[in-house]
Amino acid sequence: MALAAAAASVLHLPPPCLPGSNPSRLSLGLTNAARGAAAPEEGSAAREAGYWRLSKLAVPARDDPGKDFAGVSPPLLQAIAKALKFPVSSMLPEEAFSVTRKSFDARKILKEPQFVYTVDVDVKKLLDLEPRTWDFIARLEPKLGTIEYMPDEKIASDLKPRVAVVGSGPSGLFASLVLGELGAEVTLIERGQPVEQRGRDIGALAVRRILHSESNFCFGEGGAGTWSDGKLVTRIGRNTDGVQAVMKTFVQFGGPPNILVDGKPHLGTDKLVPLLRNFRHHLKELGVNIRFNTRVDDLVVEGGQVKGVVVSDSRLQLGSPNQTLSFDAVVLAVGHSARDTYSMLLRHNVDMHPKSFAVGLRIEHPQELINDIQYSELAAEVHKGRGRIPVADYKIVKSFGEGDAELPEQNRSCYSFCMCPGGQVVLTSTNPSELCINGMSFSRRASKWANSAFVATVSSHDFRPFESHGSLAGVEFQREFERRAATMGGGNFVVPAQCVTDFLSNRLSVTTLPPSSYRLGVRPSKLHELFPLHITEVLQQSIIMIEEEMPGFVSSEALLHGVETRTSSPLQISRNTSTYESTSLRGLYPIGEGAGYAGGILSASVDGMYCGFALAKQLSLFHGDIESTLGKAQKHKGFVKY
């Protein structure tokens, strides 16, 4: 399995593939005790019962009878004999073997095209027909993904548990990886485009102001983090086994090895795109069915349990013909901007509630100014990311009124979030009437600007004007200020902006604004009037405090952009802490940032990985101990700081 192969040194598993190997050939390598039923002891008479499943048996296309042949040919017997370490393939009786899967592999990395088989071995029939195979069956050892033991009865491929994973962000990808490797029949459903087409759609937005509602900075393969800085920092513990497993999996799929040692690792969009492409190819190799441009419009619920999903082509208008798909479980990994999904869950009375998050503005400085503030004389050695010294960043956290039990609404934190050195400000709207922004950077961080979200925490006290929306109160709170920002900008995705010095003085920036990295234009605006006064004052006080620690931070060259609202999910979907299943709807498994359990690429990946193992355990695909395999899952609630 790709995950554990990448993390072998952490999980004490068999060694991973050698550097440079194709990710589609990675194997997680979990022991059979962790994967499923343990085989009887070597040499035990009990091995005469049950079945062995042999997978990834390769037969060169030139030797195979062809795509329409589903029997056991002499070349396939040779591959079986090699797996069993039996010396003479012609002595093996064809009747003891049955083909359960056959696929064609014509990738250019192979020496020649080949058919790849999965074959079940009826041990009793094999021993009856050829007793001399006993010694080889007695010594056969399980190996996940290639050799598996099934003690009771043959498990036909059409009886595999069927799982839908909705969303191909980090949590959805890792849930699909684990479930696919452990034998589930996985369908990965993504409303957006694969990264190649998604990049073209984002280009159309940045250049021609064309917003594709289902393929943008928030929706599409890789999730919202793909066109971001690709930060791999987390509050859940950088050195935990789960985090290390994810990090090493990224490297195996093409991430730079230095992310394993860098104190502040990041990938950058240019590294994330090929990494995701490799991830996708590996999932397909596992048999995962990936459906892009497919939006989940509804759940099929019978007797308080999810039985499937209703989907439609996201390239067509709402109300277009839909399709009902049946599944044994649905993993919900939709991300923090799937507001239509939240509304659909509300119609099914799924238990969810507003949670704290943060809103604010995005502040941008010339990168050279931040280099000078942070490095002094060493700033000259940065050289736009090519020098000896890394491009400078910063991290800021300020607290106000903490511990005041009488006025809890005044307890608030203000902090920097998603700081992008050498980056640019980008549009993350999913609706043309709502304006929200984020930051991104490429791996070298070579642009002349440094930007960061500068946000204040908000909670149920702030959502009171929207409490009629129930669990979606936080969503409506976001929308309110995204609409205000769109109005301030004047439309056409122009962003309202204000010099930091003018924001502190509560005045409109009437002189020419400093240059901005935002490509669709900025408009001088009264950002100090955008939020309620208590939020604005916290932001202003924090900036003044930062100036005392970082002289030069308050500068005529510093520019504020509005508005940053989607720092994390505005709600949390209640779930069981050990099974990951919804507390109100059986068969539904809400995970990742959209469900309120993560706050970035790493934490979302880890959440998806743990859910994959937990669900596999419920489906009887995994019988090991999750904590002994991956370490104890870290549980965090509320907003997440970067």
Helix (H/G/I), strand (E/B), else coil: 338: coil
Cβ 570 vs Cβ 148: under 8 Å: no
Helix (H/G/I), strand (E/B), else coil: 84: helix
The more confidently predicted of residues 264 and 430 is 430
Q: Which of 129, 575, 571, 552 lies closest to 374, judged by CA?
A: 552
pLDDT digits (tens, 9 = 90+) for 324-340: 999 999 999 999 999 99
Within-domain flag for 469: yes
Within-domain flag for 236: yes
**CA distances to 200, 504, 596, 611 from 604, in Å:** 26, 36, 10, 11
List the CATH number of the domain containing 133: 3.30.70
Percentage of residues of the chain with pLDDT beyond 70: 87
One domain, residues 406 and 281: no
Q: Is the pLDDT of residue 551 over 60?
A: yes
Phi first, then psi: give them for residue 360, nearest 5 degrees: 170, -140
Q: What is the mean pLDDT of residues 56-64?
A: 92
List the CATH number of the domain containing 199: 3.50.50.60
Which residues partner with 103 through β-bridges? 116
Q: Is the pLDDT of residue 168 over 70?
A: yes
One domain, residues 397 and 450: yes
Beta strands 162-166 and 329-332 are parallel
| Domain hosting residue 546, numbered range | 356-564
Six-digit token string for 272 = 């994330």
Q: What is the predicted pLDDT for the residue at 13? A: 31
Q: What is the mean pLDDT of residues 179-187?
A: 95
Six-digit token string for 425 = 């400000």
Q: What is the predicted pLDDT for the residue at 419? A: 92
Q: What is the predicted pLDDT for the residue at 397? A: 92
Cβ 454 vs Cβ 360: under 8 Å: yes
Which residues partner with 158 through β-bridges? none
Cβ 133 vs Cβ 125: under 8 Å: no
Helix (H/G/I), strand (E/B), else coil: 552: coil
pTM higher than 0.85, yes or no?
Answer: no
Within-domain flag for 21: no
Within-domain flag for 41: no
Question: Could you give the CA distance from residue 64 to residue 83 in angstroms, rounded to a whole number?
Answer: 18
Q: What is the mean pLDDT of residues 190-198?
A: 95
Q: What is the mean pLDDT of residues 396-406?
A: 73
**DSSP string spanning 391-409?**
PP----EEEESTT-SS-GG
**Which residue is listed with tokens 């090895």?**
257
Question: Could you give the CA distance from residue 300 to residue 320 in angstroms, rounded to a whole number?
Answer: 18
Q: What is the predicted pLDDT for the residue at 580? A: 97
- Count H helices and E strands in the chain, helices first: 17, 23
Q: What is the predicted pLDDT for the residue at 151? A: 66
One domain, residues 369 and 335: no
Phi-psi region of 491 (alpha: psi -120 to 50; beta: other; left: phi over 0): left
One domain, residues 452 and 534: yes
**DSSP string spanning 219-284?**
SSTT-TTTTS--B---SS-TTSHHHHHHHHHHHHTT--GGGGT-SS-B--HHHHHHHHHHHHHHHH
One domain, residues 606 and 551: no
Q: 130, 150, 170 — which closes off a domain?
A: 150
Within-domain flag for 360: yes
Answer whether the bond into residue 563 is a cis peptide, omega within 30°. yes
One domain, residues 579 and 559: no
Q: Is the pLDDT of residue 297 over 60?
A: yes
Q: Residue 165: what residue type?
A: V
**Domain tally, the chain:** 3
Six-digit token string for 381 = 């050695």
Q: Is the pLDDT of residue 311 over 60?
A: yes
Q: Is the pLDDT of residue 9 over 50?
A: no
Q: 150, 182, 211 — which closes off a domain?
A: 150
Six-digit token string for 220 = 């599409």
Instruction: Please report which confidence band the pLDDT of residue 38 belongs to, taking 50, 70 and 90 as the band edges.
Output: low
- DSSP code at position 64: S
One domain, residues 315 and 215: yes
pLDDT digits (tens, 9 = 90+) for 223-262: 988 887 777 877 766 778 889 899 999 999 999 888 887 7
**CA distances to 441, 513, 526 from 556, in Å:** 23, 9, 16
Other CB atoms closer than 10 Å to residue 301's CB: what's the count? 17
Sign of the dihedral through C-alpha 459, 430, 393, 531: negative
Sign of the dihedral through C-alpha 595, 597, 600, 602: negative
One domain, residues 250 and 367: no
One domain, residues 282 and 391: no
3-state helix, strand, coil in the chain (%, to 5): 35, 20, 45
Six-digit token string for 285 = 């190799």
Q: 538, 564, 590 — which closes off a domain?
A: 564
Six-digit token string for 98 = 């049955």
For 398-421, letters b (16+ CB in 10 Å) and e give: bebeeeeeeeeeebbbbbbbbbbb
Q: Where are the beta strands (DSSP E) in 434-485?
A: 437-440, 449-458
Question: Could you give the CA distance from residue 590 to residue 582 in angstroms, rounded to a whole number?
Answer: 7
Within-domain flag for 5: no
Cβ 184 vs Cβ 161: under 8 Å: yes
Cβ 136 vs Cβ 86: under 8 Å: yes
Average pLDDT over all residues of the chain: 86
